[in-house]
Structure 1
Amino acid sequence: MIEDGDELINGQDEPKETITRVTGMFKDWFLDYASYVILERAVPAIEDGFKPVQRRIMHSMKDLDDGRYNKVANIVGHTMQYHPHGDASIADAMVQIGQKDLLIDTQGNWGNILTGDSAAASRYIEARLSKFALDVVYNPKITEWQASYDGRRKEPINLPVMFPLLLAQGGEGIAVGLSTKILPHNFIELIDASIKHLQGKRFTILPDFPTGGEADFSNYNDGLRGGKVRVRAKVSQLDKNTLVITEIPFGTTTSSLIDSILKANDKGKIKIKKIEDNTAAEVEILIHLPSGLSPDKTIDALYAFTSCESSISPLGCVIEDNKPLFVGVTEMLRRSTDNTVQLLKQELEIKLSEYEEQWHFASLERIFIEKRIYRDIEEEETWEGVIKAIDKGLQPHIKHLKRAITEDDIVRLTEIRIKRISKFDIDKAQQKIDALEDQIAEVKHHLANLIDYAIAYFTRLKKEYSAGKERKTEIKIFDDVDATKVVIRNTKLYVNREEGFIGTSLKRDEYVCDCSDIDDIIVFTAEGKMMVTKVDSKTFVGKDILHVAVFKKKDKRTIYNMIYRDGRKGPSYIKRFAVTGVTRDREYDLTNGSKGSSVLYFSANPNGEAEVVTVNLRQAGSIKKLKWDIDFADIIIKGRVSKGNLVTKYSVKRIELKEKGVSTLKPRKIWYDETVQRLNVDGRGELIGEFRGEDKLLIITQSGIIKTVTPEVTMHFDDDMIVLEKWVPKKPISAIYFNGEKELYYVKRFLIEQEGKEESFISEHPNSQLEIVSTDWRPMAEVVFAKERGKDRKENLEFNLEEFISIKGINALGNQLTKEKVNQVNLLEPLPYDAPEEVHADEIEVVDEKEVSTEIKSNPSINDSDSKDPDLEADDGQITLF
């Protein structure tokens, strides 16, 4: 239907789009509703950390407080005088406050945050204010008041909370157009952070959850939008067939956690025999596993497929000046602490005023009685005359008072009883005045040293109320390595070797490596100096830089080989050392300390490689031997402060690398942790093998990409990786793939010819697909044929890939598998085969990592170069990640 005024477009009956504007009462209704929900229901105020319903509950509890427990139903009813909503919402809000065990002293069944059990009805449970709440939440003298919703009573605009209560309790709410999710933080840590802020120091605060568990806060983002916290249950192995969960992630309950485990079991993602919930005051969930199942793998599966690991997205939003404010937890704490200081100041000023008023009247009272001024009013017949007589009598004695006498002061004097005058003790009166003067002086001292007073206040809170409030949530990096090893290296490090600068902003200079802003960088200069410094945009570390790299603390495998000249014309020395720990930004001298010393040769070796170098001397005098070789393998690894072994006392012309070295350290065991998709040397996950410096990892992806890489714990892996194992160069790779162009299955076997190069071993046609890949010596496969209409299904075919095709190049098409229609291809158990032993080029004695010492050894010793390194057997295992 086309209404009047609509136009026809292109001859069709399509009306022109129009905008109808809302007018009248409707114009403001939604905005008023949204503002009300944001300001009066969902979002807490930054001043005291309360939502309106919480503030009214706390105010009502103070109204009713007499030290004894009150029925929660009574408190809820009293709160309804201030809160214009039903009793159910008030009761729910009160239970939430009570379960946080900070402001309310509870009695009865208040529910269980661990199991998710709800509290008993409000008529059956009781509550009273905790000592902490009475100490930090209330002070009517410094509270601003407003009329309640019906105008019959007064309620606080904000309670004078002198503690970062919002951060201690946390807060969550959904309003119209925005929400808030402030995570709870540790009581003790908040106090410590407040003290640090008052002292002008930097601080960091991280959430602490009442349910305990473990949490990764590396992406917390100060509680702002975009941050993420990963939380985990604490799972441990009770015995070989039983796991026990003793702490659960924040935001879950034992019931929801068990449900997620059962669902994962039903979907086949984990295997469990049965599960028991023995939770009471503490969490205890027993997970019984089938025999033969690895507990370690099951723990990883629990984290991967159940609510044993979840993520929380914080969002710091509060109300300030009747407007929503998005702010981080650091700023929240600063503002709360500053607000506490101002409240303490107001409290002190009121107290000072009260003390001074008491001193003033005590002084007037003493003059009035001691000077017998009360006798001057005996002859007066009018009230005005009495006032004037007292005023006249006081005048000669009030020069020491701090303010003028008012009529109210004189009226109070006339109200003193005769009995009190008759028993007046001048000494006691003076003692009272002296005590008041001491109190006034003390308050003035606190006002003059307000920050110290606030620090003392927070220290007292910590001493009185911190018992039982220790951190419950363990802070971890979930792949159990240092933060520098797991942080995303999204910054590039550059170096200007000649000028001596390193940093992330030197983009026109030499690129070194990728790094993160929390990495430490180690630098060696031609003068034989070493320094470890934090990554920055631009840092001067010393001219003529020889080597710069990301520093790994406690790294015993990276060995530095160095030859240096002692002084300008002194002898030359050779040394090998590791750097496991240093003081940041301190310059270390790796030479003997003589002026003019310089480095003649330097190399950094990530696996303790020991190269062979050629020393060339300058022609001088009767020197007969001007050239010879030195093998670093003959030099024992010592501390970085050792002097080293003497190379020559003559002048060195140059030192040249003759032969690259091999590792002098024992092979390093490397594991792969599938949960975090990272390598590690800590024994987590599945053992890949023992690696020497020249050993590589073999990586194959589902998309048909194959490559070999040097293993590093900082490596990332693609999600479609299906093979990760130690590479044995002479072991062939076997594959069956579907060629999309020819629409046939092919079989191929090949060796990797180019190390470190990423190559595709299936055709690049978009329909090509890898079916199976194997790194076994003698793999077996099964072909399941598809059933054709009108024909019997052809029997499955098993065949030996080694016999089916010989080893060809990686780019070869391969042999056609069959012309029949194939349903699927399965990999079977390989045929037995005695793999040949690995032969390594190095024949030097292997040094254990534990023997890499930083101690200075005065007598240099030479390793036995005739001892042969034990061979490693080929590692046929692979990690399949379908």
Structure 2
Amino acid sequence: MEEQENHHEESLKKVSGLYKDWFLDYASYVILDRAIPSIFDGFKPVQRRIMHSMRELEDGRYNKVANIVGNTMKYHPHGDASITDAMVQIGQKELLIDTQGNWGNIYTGDSAAAARYIEARLTPFALEVVFNPKTTDWSKSYDGRNNEPIDLPVKFPLLLASGVEGIGVGLSTKIMPHNFNELINASIAHLKGKKFELFPDFLTGGMLDVSSYHDGERGGRIRARARIIQKDKNTLCITELPFGKNTSDLIDSIIKANDKGKIKIKKIEDNTSDQVEINIFLNNDVSPDKTIDALYAFTDCEIPISPNACVIVGDKPEFLTVSEILRRNTDHTVSLLKKELEIELHELQENWHFSSLERIFIENRIYHDIEEVKSWEDVIKTIDEGLKPHTKHLLRAVTEEDILRLTEIRIKRISRFDLDKFKENIVALEGKIEQVKYHLQHLIPYAIDYFTNIQKKYGKGKERKTELRIFDTIDATKVAVANEKFYANFEEGFIGTSLKKDQYLFDCSDIDDIITFQKDGTMKVVKVEPKTFIGKNIVHVAVWKKNDKRTVYNMIYREGRDGPFYMKRFSVTGVTRNNDYKLASDQKGSEMLYFSANPNGEAESVTVLLKPNARIRKNKIELDFSELGIKGRDSKGNLVTKYAVKKVDLKEEGHSTLAPRKIWFDDTVRRLNADARGTLLGSFKGDDKILTINSQGEAKLITFELSNRFDDDYLILEKWKPEQPITAIYFDGEKQIYFIKRFLLENTTNVQQFMLSDHPKSFIENVIVANNTTLEIVFAKDKDKQKDPEMVSTDEFIGIKGIKAIGNQLTKSKVKTINIILPEPVEEPNEGFEAEDSPERQSDLTDAEATDADFPEEGTIGDLFEFPEE
């Protein structure tokens, strides 16, 4: 009885312990047997079982997918739906399964037809690379009735070629698909001991920024974009998709962004079939360039992807890099090739061994010695004795199994024994044995040849589809459509989008920030809201852009209730939202007397009128803000006067005090920048523009705003010089003659067309933006006669005419090439640097040194602020 009680106590287990064990068992099952792929063959269990089942049914003809799924259920302990879905995913990757019927559309997201309607068979690539029963390790299926492969002997980095996604318990994997040929090149590079880099490649094409890919390891990040082209000024077209998105997803995200007012489109049209074509129609007042940026900023046209290379190695998950996976796959392929060679060598040696025994058995007529032998044991013994004198040169000892095979030789084969053919067969076997041994001794070159042959056989048509490009960072606030109207109630101190009965200020986006200034010198930045209380006596409200160094604020303020008056200039580049910043003074009673916001750093002149005072001789002070340096917003500024001020009048509108801005063009992202990336276009200021000329003969003048986008089709992209003539050489397809023309462009943002011929064979030969250019015309042979090249000075050949002029005929002879000889370039004069890139111009007067007498005396223009006399 006591023993039974002890046994009962020992068998008790806490419920928490049971849950822990059960959960670990479940997690291990999901991770190892369902969600995470093996590093060796790149398959999840269901995928491996599908491939094994297809190999079982393979006879060169298509099989119904329903039949394959049914056969796979012998190995996979789950429903047919999961097997069908997994098989469709493999088939859509166009690598292992040759499909027939409606297998869905990766572009539109349409699902495949039912399994009973579609068919499949293995591709030649799969048959060659994935299977080999001799090198496969087997285990029993879930019910013990069948054998299934533990790992298929895949001799290729299949995991990286097809990519995989899976979610386990507390664990997930996301390995991007990579390019077939690039993987083979990387494997060869690894075998040669060279470095390599791998980046994703998607069947849907698109563009990809891999600057933060970090070799595909956990924590990396990539950005995928749709390819958007501009058909005309009112139509955009999406021709390629970002990874993981289909046309339905993309259109839904665009419609949502339009409904929220983030973008502004007229209508959208999906014409996708075997190629992606989503047409986006715009209104006449919408910029196509800005809309493209907005599509990337607010829709699924750009998506971030976080790779996570988790794989099963042995019987546990590991986090690896893409390069490490490829190295291990390549090394595994080498080991499989070695194993195949060893098996082949063994089979050849066994074939040579038995062929030699067969020759000895027949040539020495040993079969006659067993004619009188009565028992089977004596037959075996007799043959063994007869072979012994002739077997010293064999590779191994003769076994009873060898003798049994000799007894199975038919009389017909013995009677037709041909010694010469036999010797040829032996020599051929020996040649093959030596070749296999050579391959085993030179395994790495053999593996390199293997990969090279795979590429030759199957690499055609598998070129990279996704373009690698560094993306520019799009500031969402700069490309968002101004979808809100902004109002202010200056009397009560409220601002917002819902105050429609109050004063309208401007249009803005709902993601903009709003900057406000009050009469007491308080500055605050707030978000766009329906209604926000700022405080009474609001002086200025505007949209605020972070890091804006070109907007300069000029102000004159009184420090405290009776303190001195100061003036200062400052920019606001960064703030904390909803914080009150005291720009005048913390002292009670501080007040702004004058304020202006200048988007391009303008500096005006003002007149300060003083209140009558017997102690001063002059009651008027002239101030020029251009003499004041741009400092931080917290600076005190320069002293204006210690005496009471009556009012401040504007004397003269100001001009920009910022130096010309140096602008570069980055061809990688096809955007302008002020960060010295790419080609320097020059120093820009005021109304300067950029000239672009494309191959269709269209010239455009574009502002130097950094948000502008440029497409691939441009012959000329440079700073526009209004007085510089443009020389165009074009071929008239109708007249079959080259023409040359020189013209000036009008200062307009409209497209200016100078290619007048619309014949399909007409084309622009060259466009030159320079004086004193020489053309070398090289002529084609005419009836075995070669005309000498002709030199033509463009400036002397033709004068400057209108843009619509046809121009002069360049030559009547048949032209082979036209070479351009440009004059020596003239360096652009140094126009200085932008204010934020150079030391600030400080006023000659410090706060302590400035006095009333330091300011000249002149007239006034207009009142901006007026205060009652005390």
TM range (shorter): 0.5 to 0.7
How far has the Cα of 1:832 moved from its partner? Answer: 12
Q: Which residue of 2 aligns with 1:288?
A: 281
Residue 142, structure 1, aligned to residue 135, structure 2: yes
- 2:205 is the alignment partner of 1:212: yes
For the 8 Å contact 2:554–2:570, the answer to whether it is kept is no
Greater shift, 367-376 or 163-172, is seen at: 367-376
Q: Please tell me whether residue 176 in structure 1 is matched to residue 169 in structure 2.
A: yes
Supply the distance in 2 between the matched residues of 1:701 and 1:431 (Cα, whole angstroms): 93
Amino acid at match of 1:30: F
User: Structure 2 vs 1, CA of residues 337 and 763 (structure 1 numbering), >3 Å: closer, same or farther?
Assistant: farther
Using the alignment, how far apart are the partners of 1:753 and 1:772 within structure 2?
A: 12
2:296 alignment partner in structure 1: 303
* Other-structure match for 2:848: none
Structure 1 position 469 matched with structure 2 position 289: no
How much does 1:471 deviate?
A: 0.7
Matched length: 565
Query: Partner letter of residue 733 of structure 1?
Result: Y
AA at the equivalent of 2:147 = K
| SS of equivalent to 1:237 | strand
1:774 aligns with 2:774: no
Q: In the aligned structure 2, how far is the partner of 1:864 from the partner of 1:442? A: 65
The CA distance in 2 between the partners of 1:206 and 1:741, in whole Å, is: 63
Q: CA deviation at 1:294?
A: 1.8
| Counterpart code for 1:203 | F
Report the alpha carbon displacement of residue 289 of structure 1 after superposing the two structures with TM.
1.1
Show the counterpart of 1:721. Answer: 545
Q: Let me know the Cα RMSD of the aligned residues.
A: 4.5
Q: 1-side partners of 2:124 and 2:656: how far apart? A: 76
Alpha-carbon distance change, 347 to 872 in structure 1, aligned in 2, over 3 angstroms:
closer
The answer on whether the counterparts of 1:702 and 1:722 sit within 8 Å (CA) in structure 2 is: no
- Residue aligned with 1:218, SS: coil
C-alpha contact (below 8 Å) 1:377/1:390 kept by paired residues:
yes
Superposition deviation, residue 79 in structure 1: 0.5
- Out of 540, 544, 553, which is 1:733 matched to? 553
Q: Pairwise mapping of residues 846-861 of structure 1 onto structure 2 (< 5 A)?
A: none
Alignment of 1:857-876 (within 5 A): none
Q: Is the 8 A contact 1:380 1:386 kept in 2?
A: yes
Deviation string, structure 1 residues 719-752 (Cα, Å, up to 9, x no partner): 973574768xxxx735799x9999xxxx998546
1:219 is paired with a residue of what secondary structure? coil
Q: Hey, what does 1:578 align to over in structure 2?
A: none
Tell me how far apart the structure 1 counterparts of residues 407 and 134 of structure 2 sit (CA, whole Å).
28
C-alpha distance after superposition, 1:619-661 (max 9, x if no partner) = xxxxxxxxxxxxxxxxxxxxxxxxxxxxxxxxxxxxxxxxxxx
Paired position in structure 1 for 2:316: 323
Q: Is the 8 A contact 2:238 2:277 kept in 1?
A: yes
Report the CA distance between 1:278 and its aligned residue. Answer: 0.9
- Matched with 1:262 is 255
**2:62 is the counterpart of 1:241:** no
Instruction: Tell me the alpha carbon deviations over residues 331-376 of structure 1, each in whole angstroms, 9 at most, x when there is no partner.
Output: 1001100000000111000010100011111111111111111111
**3-state SS of 2:382 partner:** helix
CA distance in 1, matches of 2:288, 2:554: 32
C-alpha contact (below 8 Å) 2:547/2:572 kept by paired residues: no
Q: Which amino acid aligns with 2:553?
A: I
CA–CA distance in structure 2, aligned partners of residues 831 and 369 of structure 1: 125
**1:340 paired to 2:164:** no
Is 1:392 the equivalent of 2:385? yes
Provide the C-alpha distance between the structure 2 equivalents of 1:219 and 1:777, rounded to a whole number of angstroms.
37
Work out whether residues 108 and 246 of structure 2, in 8 Å CA contact, stay in contact via their aligned partners in 1: yes
SS in 2 for 1:230: strand
Distance 2:157 2:204 in 1: 21
Deviation at 1:210, TM superposition (A): 1.3
1:824-863 matches, within 5 Å, as none
Q: Indicate yes or no: 2:583 matched with 1:762.
A: yes
Change (3 A) 1:65 1:766: farther
C-alpha separation in 2, matches of 1:839 and 1:415: 102
Residue identity in the other structure for 1:110:
W
Deviations 1:232-282 (A, max 9, x none): 111111111111111111011111111111111111111111111111111
Q: Give, in whole Å, the separation in 2 of the partners of 1:70 and 1:243.
A: 43
Query: Is this contact kept in 1: 2:567–2:637, CA < 8 A?
Result: no
Aligned residue number for residue 644 of structure 2: none
Q: Distance in 2 between matches of 1:284 and 1:762?
A: 54
How many percent of aligned residue pairs carry the same amino acid? 59
- Report the CA distance shift for 1:250/1:871 in structure 2 as closer, same or farther (over 3 A): closer
Q: Structure 1 CA distance, aligned partners of 2:586 and 2:83? A: 65
Superposition map of 1:602-621 within 5 A: none
The answer on 1:360 being equivalent to 2:180 is no
Q: Cα–Cα, structure 1 residues 99 and 832, in superposed 2: closer, same or farther, change >3 Å? A: farther
The 3-state SS of whatever aligns with 1:395 is helix
Alpha-carbon separation, structure 1, partners of 2:264 and 2:38: 48
Is 1:225 the counterpart of 2:218 in the alignment?
Answer: yes
1:308–1:370: structure 2 CA closer, same or farther, 3 Å change rule? same
Task: Tell me, in whole angstroms, the C-alpha distance in 1 between the residues paired with 2:360 and 2:600.
Answer: 108
Q: Say if 1:52 and 1:754 are closer, same or farther in 2 by CA, change over 3 A.
A: closer
User: Is residue 33 from structure 1 mapped to residue 26 from structure 2 by the alignment?
Assistant: yes
The one-letter code sitting in structure 2 at the alignment partner of 1:131 is: P
Counterpart contact for 2:550–2:601, Cα < 8 Å: no
User: Which blocks of at least 5 consecutive residues in structure 1 are unaligned?
Assistant: 1-19, 481-672, 679-699, 707-718, 781-802, 815-829, 841-845, 852-862, 876-882
Q: Match for residue 661 of structure 1?
A: none
Letter in 2 for 1:721: K
Match of 1:76 in 2: 69
Which amino acid in structure 2 is aligned with residue 255 of structure 1? S
Aligned to 1:64: 57
**Aligned-partner SS, 1:101:** coil
Q: What are the Cα deviations for residues 641-698 of structure 1, in whole angstroms up to 9, with x where unaligned?
A: xxxxxxxxxxxxxxxxxxxxxxxxxxxxxxxx747999xxxxxxxxxxxxxxxxxxxx
Contact between 2:70 and 2:80, CA under 8 Å: does it hold in 1? yes
Q: Distance in 2 between matches of 1:750 and 1:241?
A: 46
1:288 aligned partner, one-letter code: F
Q: 1:115 to 1:361 in 2, by over 3 A?
A: same
User: Do 2:96 and 2:123's aligned partners in 1 also have CA atoms closer than 8 Å?
Assistant: yes
How far residue 181 of structure 1 moved from its aligned partner, in angstroms, is 0.6
Equivalent residue, structure 2, for 1:430: 423
Return closer, same or farther for 1:260/1:765 CA change in 2, 3 Å cut-off. Answer: farther
Equivalent residues of 1:48, 1:161 under 8 A apart: yes
Equivalent in the alignment of 2:343: 350
- Aligned counterparts of 1:769 and 1:401: Cα–Cα separation in 2: 112
Could you report, residue by residue, the CA deviation over 1:62-85 in whole angstroms, capped at 9, with x for unpaired residues? 111111111111111111110000
Quote the offset at 1:27 in angstroms. Answer: 4.5
* Structure 1 residues 754 and 171: CA distance shift in structure 2, 3 A: closer
Query: Aligned equivalents of 1:31 and 1:754: distance in 2?
Result: 56
CA distance change for structure 1 residues 291 and 741 in 2, over 3 Å: closer, same or farther? farther
- Using the TM superposition, give the Cα deviation of residue 703 of structure 1 relative to its aligned residue in structure 2, in angstroms: 9.5
Per-residue CA distance 1:110-138 (angstroms, 9 max, x = gap):
11111111111111111111111101110
Unaligned runs of 5+ in 2: 1-12, 480-512, 524-542, 574-580, 605-620, 639-649, 661-681, 684-717, 720-768, 771-823, 836-870
Structure 1 residue 292: Cα displacement? 2.9
Q: Partners of 1:740 and 1:143 in 2: how far apart?
A: 88
Of 358, 365, 369, the match for 1:372:
365
TM, length-normalised to structure 1: 0.58
Indicate whether 1:119 and 2:112 are aligned: yes
- Structure 1 partner of 2:185: 192
Contact 2:48 2:152 in 1 (8 A): yes
Q: Match of 2:211, SS?
A: strand
Are the aligned partners of 2:603 and 2:653 in contact in 1 as well (CA < 8 Å)?
no
The 1:741–1:452 alpha-carbon spacing in structure 2 relative to 1, beyond 3 Å, is farther
Helix, strand or coil for the counterpart of 1:236? Answer: strand
1:249 alignment partner, SS class: coil
Residues 804 and 170 (structure 1), Cα distance of their counterparts in 2 relative to 1, 3 Å cut: farther
